[in-house]
């Protein structure tokens, strides 16, 4: 028995924060298969004195420090010696934490409403759905998108619409676009787009200090309005494409998630399972397509490894 948690095997290897992933990089309209590294995101469920407490979505390195720091931040412990034992179950992604001084009443109060906490931006949605769950169906094929130039145009329009971010530097912005080869108004007329992008590029644009809240605002808008059918929508997003972002997009029926930021490994796994096309690092005439490139008229097989 040890007084502080030891990390699970291989948790501190040099590549513990990322893994190599094949993708299609499009530069000036030309596609190239390459391999790049993607930030790792994985679930870690904490079992507190024998009961399930919380699932963290985190980068799986230095997990011993993560567990201690989280327990302290939640007020469960004040010193490493307050933890008598941690048993790691790497296969199931669980850490069994024993805190002898924690009374049953205090433990039960902590266990009310099991939670899932996202890898960034603090507390995420408590009902995160993983690929094995059946309540989020795969997104139908939909019309697809062949005009790749629309992707950087969407990101540019999102940047122009994010006035609150420009003023504060502290907000995420999400836009909903129709997944067609036409603008939201039905065609390209050459006119200057509105600064918020609505009516030309987007159906709606919403911002919030939390990226998940911004997505939820868009979901609420869809409930209040006649949003296009599942498979005919795209989410244009200002933040990292994590697992929870992909799940929320799939719940909306969004076939495409577009961002100037990076994806995570769990986000890409979810996107592959839920038939969501992820396009990230959209910057000028350069972008990276990670999943379901067929929606964009791209594809083929990646080159065989050496």
Element (H, E) at 20: strand 18-27
Q: Could you give the percent of the chain with pLDDT greater than 70?
A: 76
Q: What is the pLDDT of residues 226-252, one digit of tens each?
A: 788 889 999 999 889 999 899 999 989
Single pTM value for the model: 0.79
3-state secondary structure 71-132: HHHCCCCCCHHHCCEEEEECCCCEEEEECCCCCHHHHHHHHCCCEEECCCCCECCCCCCCCC
Of 99, 120, 121, 222, which is the active-site residue? 121
Rounded average pLDDT over 26-35: 93
256-286 pLDDT, tens digit each: 999 999 999 999 999 999 999 999 999 988 9
**Domains of the chain and any CATH numbers:** 1-19+40-117 (3.10.20.10), 150-296 (3.40.140.10)
Question: How does residue 129 score in pLDDT terms, banded at 50, 70 and 90?
Answer: very low
pLDDT(147) > 70 = yes
Asked whether the predicted pLDDT for residue 65 surpasses 60, the reply is yes
How far, in Å, CA of 226 to CA of 249, rounded? 17
Residue pair 57/118 in contact by the 8 Å Cβ criterion: yes
C-alpha distances in angstroms, 288 versus 27, 72, 269? Answer: 9, 39, 16
CB 249 within 8 A of CB 235: yes
Q: How far apart are CA 48 and CA 52, in angstroms?
A: 6
Q: What local confidence, expressed as pLDDT, does residue 305 receive?
A: 56
Mean pLDDT on 93-122: 74
Q: What would the two tokens of residue 186 be?
A: 């039905």
Rounded mean pLDDT, 86-90: 92
Residue 16: the pLDDT is 67
Alpha-carbon torsion (204, 232, 174, 216), positive or negative: positive
Q: Classify residue 135 by burial, with Cβ atoms within 10 Å: 0-12, 13-18, 19+.
A: exposed
The span from the CA of 270 to the CA of 275, in Å, is 8
- Comparison of pLDDT for 299 and 218, the residue scoring more: 218
3-state percent breakdown (helix, strand, coil) of the chain, nearest 5:
25, 30, 45
Bridge partner list, 87: 96
pLDDT at 123 over 50: no
Quickly count: other Cβ atoms within 10 Å of residue 275's Cβ: 18
Active site residue 121: yes
State residue 190's pLDDT score.
38
């Amino acid at each position: 028995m040890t007084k502080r948690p030891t990390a699970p095997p291989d948790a501190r290897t040099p590549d513990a924060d990322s893994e190599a992933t094949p993708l299609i990089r499009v530069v000036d309209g030309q596609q190239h298969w390459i391999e790049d590294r993607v930030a790792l995101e994985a679930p870690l469920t904490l079992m507190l004195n024998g009961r399930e407490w919380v699932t963290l979505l985190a980068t799986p390195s230095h997990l011993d420090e993560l567990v201690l720091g989280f327990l302290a931040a939640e007020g469960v412990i004040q010193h490493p010696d307050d933890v008598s034992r941690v048993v790691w179950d790497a296969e199931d992604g669980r850490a069994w934490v024993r805190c002898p001084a924690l009374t049953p009443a205090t433990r039960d109060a902590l266990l009310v409403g099991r939670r899932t906490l996202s890898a960034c931006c603090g507390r995420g949605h408590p009902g995160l759905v993983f690929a094995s769950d059946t309540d989020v169906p795969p997104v139908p094929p939909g019309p697809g998108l062949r005009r790749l130039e629309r992707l950087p145009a969407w990101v540019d329009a999102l940047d122009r619409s994010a006035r609150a971010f420009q003023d504060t530097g502290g907000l995420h912005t999400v836009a909903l676009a129709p997944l067609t080869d036409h603008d939201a108004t039905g065609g390209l007329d050459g006119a200057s787009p509105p600064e918020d992008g609505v009516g030309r590029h987007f159906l709606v644009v919403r911002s919030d200090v939390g990226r998940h809240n911004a997505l939820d605002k868009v979901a609420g808008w869809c409930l209040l309005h006649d949003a296009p059918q599942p498979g005919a929508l795209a989410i244009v997003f200002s933040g990292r494409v994590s697992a929870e972002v992909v799940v929320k997009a799939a719940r909306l029926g969004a076939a495409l998630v577009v961002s100037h930021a990076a994806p995570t490994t769990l986000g890409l796994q979810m996107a592959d399972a839920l038939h969501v096309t992820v396009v990230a690092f959209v910057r000028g005439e350069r972008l990276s397509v990670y999943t379901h490139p067929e929606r964009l008229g791209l594809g083929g097989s990646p080159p065989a490894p050496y």
